[in-house]
Each structure stands twice: as structure tokens, then as C-alpha cells.
Amino acid sequence: MPFGMVMKHALDAHSAERSARMWPSECGGRVEDRGAEKILAKGNEAIAMAALDAGCLLYFGYPITPQNDIPEYLSKHLPTLGGEFIQAESEIASINLLLGASATGTRAMTSSSSPGISLMQEGISYMAGSELPCVIINISRSGPGLGGISPSQGDYFQATRGGGHGDYRMIVLAPSTVQEMYDLTFLAFDLSDKYRNPAMILGDALIGQMKEPLIRRRPEKMDLPPKDWALTGARGRNPNRIKSLYLQDGELSEHNWKLYRKYELMKKEEVRFESFKVEDAQLLIAAFGSIARVSKTSAELAREEGMKVGLLRPITLFPFPEQAFHQFSKRVKLFLTVELNTGQMVEDVRLSVDRDAQVYFYGRPPGSLPSPEEVLEEIKKCYRLGQG
Amino acid sequence: MELVFKRPECLIDIPFHFCPGCHHGIAHRLVAEAIDYFKIREKTIGVASVGCSVFMYDYFNIDVLEAPHGRASAVASGVKRAKKDRIVFTYQGDGDLAAIGIAEVIHTANRGENITIVFANNTVYGMTGGQMAPTTLLGQKTTTSPYGRDFTYDGYPIRMAEMLATLEGSAFVARVAVNNPANLMKAKKAIRKGFQMQMEEMGFSFIEVLLACPTNWGMSALEANRRVEEEMIPYFPLGILKERKMADYL
């Protein structure tokens, strides 16, 4: 489908803002309680709304297409809620403002798109090493370099392989609908606080710009440990220090193992994925984010033509649903990974599946969004190969 | 017998690691004395930068946050925005602030962030072994300017205090030195003023402190101390470059 068709500005989602009841957020500001309001919202705006509803009243960011709706929305609403909005001088400043705010135990967020996220890698590495929570939104666009502004999934490696220097991981959540842009942002804040680790929402230009119905309802609050490590002034306690430098003999390797154990725990407890028509599937599509929407339609079209096709959609890209893929690959021997890049998540799929499972790849580099029919052609090809 | 001089409460009782003749110890002490003077130890948060000052959390008896190289100004702004009633300061070297961190410090000053920055200027990269800094003087030999700094290749030394004083957001900008008792007393006053301005919510405070680095200048402690007077102060003049009398939002 032509990319431009999904970028129409039909309704002004701002008109849906009606303040109802107020409750105090953990940062001392006010958060509006809307009950379960159903509105038409842009993906980017859904993220901004979720941040406010999750009690995040600090935002630092820099303009970059295609995510400017996020800072614009927050610049309008944060001041009315007693929050702080800074348009910083760069993404480098943004991630460091975030580091400072997070160190005080306050929920804070930044957003950017691929080139800006590259600039943030140093800060993310520091935050992972210092065990600081934060939420980073990447509405990815095409690269490498200046690339373009069309949707792409070329940041999968950057997001899931740490991205910055050193041995660390980021919690990475990949929404596929505007509702998930909202729900997963909430989850990102909670998981980030739970594990004291940066969390990223990996969206793309398509899902950021499209409008869908959104049920704006605050989910159940997760039970989270108190932030007694935070820097708030050393009154009545010993001073806290937050750092990532470990120079004493053995200190740093011990710290790295500690981080490793965190990531292993995440792998055990925080994997999320969607399985669609997998029960009797003979071919499973592996896809995430916006291309998973297209792939889902293709799977349905394939079913109409009598092919037993299903979809396995990772929602957590880190931790990757290795076990799920492995389990399915004991019975299903055909996988088709569909991505808006030239081959990134397919490596994780190949690593996860049984040795004799065949993993095919259909890639569409940025600027060429496939239609469900085009993906269906690929499915047919692979299905025939599998049968023969 | 009355005790007239002791270790500030804000300084932890362990030896500094600084080289003999290094002025960081003096600057650290002046900052600690200012915090003690206003009795704000329990609500002060320090942001350490990367360089010889990185071990600030070992010396100051306060909450301390480590920032990536050059980013302390932005990090401190984030801390202050999250906790407006705490006192937040950074302690940054000349590479950290005037090279890699120059964008962050300019915009922190420009936004009038209500924090205090202590800028330790010793015209050289100390921790990494004596490379050229943005404040290295013309003709000064460093490990990356072995023939002496030449403006045709490396430009001129940057005067940070003058530059930041031109910004509306700056409330208090001063340059001081600690090479003799008279200068030291003025430095103590200026650093104290920088914290006072923050407490009065006047805006951005910046105190550039000229320091000696005997090790990387290849000098003895006394020679290095003399160099501050004879070579640095002529190029980096001391004084208060800006002092807002009233908060700008009034």
C-alpha cells in the first residue's frame, strides 16, 4: 500500500482530551484518570499518552522525523500536569538529561528515530552499566546514514545487540498496533523499573504515523521495589553513588555477571509473543511490528487458498522468544521471516529453531512496503518448496 | 582551646589521589567548604565528570552521580529538573567541558538551568596523560602538540567564562585561581557565591578555576604554581564576569 495513504491527519486526537479525575503521580504532578476512554489516536500520540498515564512527567527530546508528534504532544500537556519538558540541543543531551533524571528515581522518557538513537548509544550503555531505569522510544526510519523517513526495521540489531559498547542488553518491545504502542509503553516503564535497566519501544514510521482506535486505560500497576538506590540528597542515610566505573580487582567482572544474571532472568520471565493460527500450521511466518500486520493479512489470504499458514510475532525482541520458536519448530519445519530490512531478526529465528527446520527470508529494505498479496506470493513459493 | 580549622564535614576522611602540587585538592576543598557553610550537605547531589575529577564520589560525603565524558552539564540539568529543591553541581575539567561537552554546557547556561558548575581549567588533559585541551595555551607543548600549540592547526585557547557570560541564561560567571592566598580567598568567595545563587534560584552559575598540573606540564609543584600566575592569568583574566542582581523572571 502506498505509504502516504496512512499518513492522513483525519481527526485531531487532541480534541479527545477532556480532563476528568486527577490523581497524584509518584513524581508529585497530576495524572488524569480517564477510566476507559476510546479515542482515535496516532501511534506516536498513543505513546505520549501512555507516558503521562504511567506517571512519567519528565521528557527530554530533540526533533526528528517521524516522531515529532511525541515531543509536540508532551510539550503541550506536560506543563499542565506539573511536568517538565525540555527540547534539548541534541539527542546526546537528551539521553544525558534522562540519565540525570532517572538517577533521582523519577520516571523519565526520551524519544527519537534511528540516527538520533545512534547518538544515544553512549548514554544507554552508561545507564545499563549504572543500572538506571528509563524508557527510550525509537520510531525507526530508514538508514543507514541519513537514509530516508519511510518505515524500516533496520534497527533490530542496534536495539537487541546492546547498540552501545560493552556487554549489556536493552529490554526491547515491538508494538504492532496503536493499542500496543500505548500498552507496551506502560510495560516498558514497569519492566525498566523492575530490572533497573533501560527499556526501548521499537516502533517505526508506519506505526508511529497511523491512526487507529485506542482504548486509553491504565493497566494494573506492577508491584515494583522501592528505589532506595536513588540520589535524592543524603539526609538520614549514607550517601548513594551511581556509577559504572569499576576499577578494583575483580569488581567489574563481578558487575558484568550481575548484569548477565539480570538478562537471564528476563529471558526466563518476560518473553512475550503472539501466535496466530499456529495450531495446525505447516508454515510459520515470523515477523514483528508493522510488517507483522501485513503478514497477518497474508496468512489469512493463504488460509483462504488452503495453505496451512500461521504467524509467530515476537512482542519482546529482547528477550527473544527462542523457546517458542524452538518448540514450534519441532513440528513446523517451514519458517518465513518477513522484515523491512535485508536480514536481521531472521538470524535470531535461525538460531532458535530446530536444526532441520527451514528458515526462508523475505526482506523489503526501506521505502518499499509490501502489500499482503506480495507477501502471499512469497508464502506460496516457500510453501511449495516445503511440500516438494 | 578553640578549634579554628578542620576538615570540612563534606569531605570524606581519606587521602586524595591527586599528584603533589595539583590544585584539584584545593578546589575540592573550597567546594566542600561552600556546601558546609550553607549546611546543604544532605540535599546536595554532585555530578562527577570524566578526568582526574572522576573520583569525586570517593571524596565528597554526598550523593554523587557519574556522567559520561562531557555530559555532566546535561546530566545535572536532568537531576535538577527532577528534584528542583536539591542543590546540584558539577565539577568538570577542561577537556570534559570545553571540548566534548561544550554543546551541553552552552545550552545548560542558555536555558538558565539553576545549577552550579565548577570548571577546573589546567590547560591540559590530566587523567589521560597530558594531551592538548581546548584551553592549552599557544606554544604550550603537550603530548599531542609536541611542537607547541600552533593556532594555524589547532586554533586558539577558548575562554569559556567570557563566552558563557554573554548568554542571557547565565546568572553568575567568574574566573578564579588558587595559586596564592589572595586569589584563594577570592576563589572561595566565588564558589560560595555560585552555590548561593542556586539557592536563591537566580539561574546558572559558572566558576572557572585555574589550576596547576605539575605532572603533565613537566614542572615542579612550585614552577607549576608560578605558571598559573605568569602564563595562565594573563590569557585567562580573573574576575567576576557576570553577576545578576535580581532573578530574571522577576
The per-residue pLDDT string of chain B (250 residues; one tens digit each, 9 = 90 and over) reads 898 889 999 999 999 999 999 999 999 999 999 999 999 999 999 999 999 988 999 999 999 999 999 999 999 999 999 999 999 999 999 999 999 999 999 999 999 999 999 999 999 999 999 999 999 999 999 999 999 999 999 999 999 999 999 999 999 999 999 999 999 999 999 999 999 999 999 999 999 999 999 999 999 999 999 999 999 999 999 999 999 998 776 6
**B185 — contact with chain A (CB < 8 Å)?**
no
The CATH number of residue A199's host domain is 3.40.50.970
Structurally, chain B folds into a number of domains equal to 1
The pLDDT of residue A96 is above 50: yes
Q: Which residue of B has its CA nearest to A94?
A: B74
**Residue A216 sits in the same domain as residue A309:** no
**B198 — contact with chain A (CB < 8 Å)?**
no
Q: Is A236 a domain residue?
A: no
Among the residues of chain A, which ranges form H helices? 43-53, 69-77, 91-103, 114-129, 156-160, 178-195, 205-209, 251-269, 289-304, 322-329, 345-352, 372-387
The pLDDT of residue A272 is above 90: yes
Q: Is A239 a domain residue?
A: no
Quote the pLDDT of residue B247: 77
Identity of the residue in A84, A123, A233 whose CB atom sits nearest the CB atom of B44: A233
How many whole angstroms separate alpha carbon B31 and alpha carbon B37?
10
Q: Is B161 a domain residue?
A: yes
Taking the model in full, what pTM does it have?
A: 0.90
With CB atoms and an 8 Å threshold, state whether B82 touches A89.
no
The stretch A156-180 carries a mean pLDDT of 96
Q: What is the pLDDT of residues A34-61, one digit of tens each?
A: 567 899 999 999 999 999 999 999 999 9
The stretch A346-367 carries a mean pLDDT of 94
Chain B residues touching A88 at Cβ < 8 A:
74, 107
Positive/negative CA dihedral, A176, A182, A183, A185: positive
Secondary structure (3-state) at B15: coil
How many whole angstroms separate alpha carbon B250 and alpha carbon B246?
7
**Number of residues in chain B:** 250
**B47 — contact with chain A (CB < 8 Å)?**
yes
Q: Which domain holds residue A67?
A: 3-222+244-269
Q: Is B156 a domain residue?
A: yes
Mean pLDDT lowest for which of A90-104, A287-301, B3-17?
Answer: B3-17
Q: Is B220 a domain residue?
A: yes
Quote the pLDDT of residue A388: 65
Secondary structure (3-state) at A58: strand
Whether the Cβ atoms of residue A100 and residue B77 lie closer than 8 Å to each other = yes
Q: Is A186 a domain residue?
A: yes
For the record, the C-alpha cell of B114 comes out as 539553576
The CATH number of residue B50's host domain is 3.40.50.970
ipTM: 0.90
Whether the Cβ atoms of residue A283 and residue A334 lie closer than 8 Å to each other = yes
Q: What amino acid is encoded at A145 in this protein?
A: G
Q: In Å, how far are A67, A75, A213, B143 from A11, measured between CA atoms? A: 18, 20, 11, 62
Q: Is A230 a domain residue?
A: no
Q: Is B97 a domain residue?
A: yes
Q: Is A235 a domain residue?
A: no
The pLDDT of residue A32 is above 70: no
Q: Is B6 a domain residue?
A: no
pLDDT band with cut points at 50, 70 and 90 for residue A182: very high
Structurally, chain A folds into a number of domains equal to 2
Positive/negative CA dihedral, B12, B17, B20, B25: negative
Chain B residues touching A104 at Cβ < 8 A:
45, 79, 82-83, 86
How far away is chain B from the Cα of A127, in angstroms, using its nearest Cα? Answer: 10
**Residue A23 sits in the same domain as residue A103:** yes
Q: Is A175 a domain residue?
A: yes
Q: Is B67 a domain residue?
A: yes
Disruptive mutation site among B40, B41, B45 for chain A (greatest number of A CBs within 10 Å): B45
How many whole angstroms separate alpha carbon A283 and alpha carbon A289?
19
Quote the pLDDT of residue A18: 30
Q: Which of B48, B75, B91, B116 is nearest to A94 (CA)?
A: B75
How many whole angstroms separate alpha carbon B190 and alpha carbon B196?
10
The pLDDT of residue A170 is above 80: yes
Identity of the residue in A89, A232, A242 whose CB atom sits nearest the CB atom of B66: A242
Q: Is A284 a domain residue?
A: yes
How many whole angstroms separate alpha carbon B116 and alpha carbon B35?
12
**Residue A287 sits in the same domain as residue A180:** no
The Cβ-side half-sphere exposure at A327, using a 13 Å CA radius, reads 8
Choose one of A269, A284, A305: the last residue of a domain.
A269
Quote the pLDDT of residue B250: 61
How far away is chain B from the Cα of A82, in angstroms, using its nearest Cα? Answer: 11
Q: Which of A3, A42, A32 is nearest to A213 (CA)?
A: A42
With CB atoms and an 8 Å threshold, state whether B65 touches A58.
no
**Residue A19 sits in the same domain as residue A107:** yes
Q: In Å, how far are A106, A376, B13 from A303, measured between CA atoms? A: 49, 10, 74
Percentage of residues in chain A with pLDDT exceeding 90? 84
Q: Which of B126, B125, B107 is nearest to B117 (CA)?
A: B107
The pLDDT of residue A15 is above 50: no
**Residue A92 sits in the same domain as residue A194:** yes
The CATH number of residue A372's host domain is 3.40.50.920
Quote the pLDDT of residue A35: 66
Q: Sheet of B239-243: strands edge to edge?
A: A241-242, B63-66, B44-48, B87-93, B116-121, B204-210, B170-177, B239-243
Quote the pLDDT of residue A26: 41
Q: Is B184 a domain residue?
A: yes
Identity of the residue in A84, A234, A245 whose CB atom sits nearest the CB atom of B66: A245
Quote the pLDDT of residue A366: 84
The pLDDT of residue A9 is above 80: no
**B81 — contact with chain A (CB < 8 Å)?**
yes
How far away is chain B from the Cα of A105, in angstroms, using its nearest Cα? Answer: 9
- Chain centroid offset of residue A21 CA: 29
pLDDT band with cut points at 50, 70 and 90 for residue A77: very high
Percentage of residues in chain A with pLDDT exceeding 70? 91
b (16+ CB within 10 A) / e for A107-137: bbbbbbbbbbbbbbbbbbbbbbbbbbbbbbb
How many whole angstroms separate alpha carbon A230 and alpha carbon A242?
8
**Residue A307 sits in the same domain as residue A167:** no
**B105 — contact with chain A (CB < 8 Å)?**
no
With CB atoms and an 8 Å threshold, state whether B83 touches A236.
no
**Residue A156 sits in the same domain as residue A12:** yes
How far away is chain A from the Cα of B66, in angstroms, using its nearest Cα? Answer: 5
**Residue A96 sits in the same domain as residue A73:** yes
**Residue A292 sits in the same domain as residue A260:** no
Identity of the residue in A101, A130, A234 whose CB atom sits nearest the CB atom of B82: A101
pLDDT band with cut points at 50, 70 and 90 for residue A19: very low
Q: Is A227 a domain residue?
A: no
**Residue A169 sits in the same domain as residue A255:** yes
**Residue A132 sits in the same domain as residue A46:** yes
With CB atoms and an 8 Å threshold, state whether A60 touches B78.
yes
**Residue A10 sits in the same domain as residue A77:** yes
What are A's interface residues with B at a Cβ cutoff of 8 A?
Answer: 27, 58, 60, 84, 86, 88-90, 92-93, 96-104, 106, 108, 122-123, 126, 130, 231-236, 239-245
How far away is chain B from the Cα of A106, in angstroms, using its nearest Cα? Answer: 7
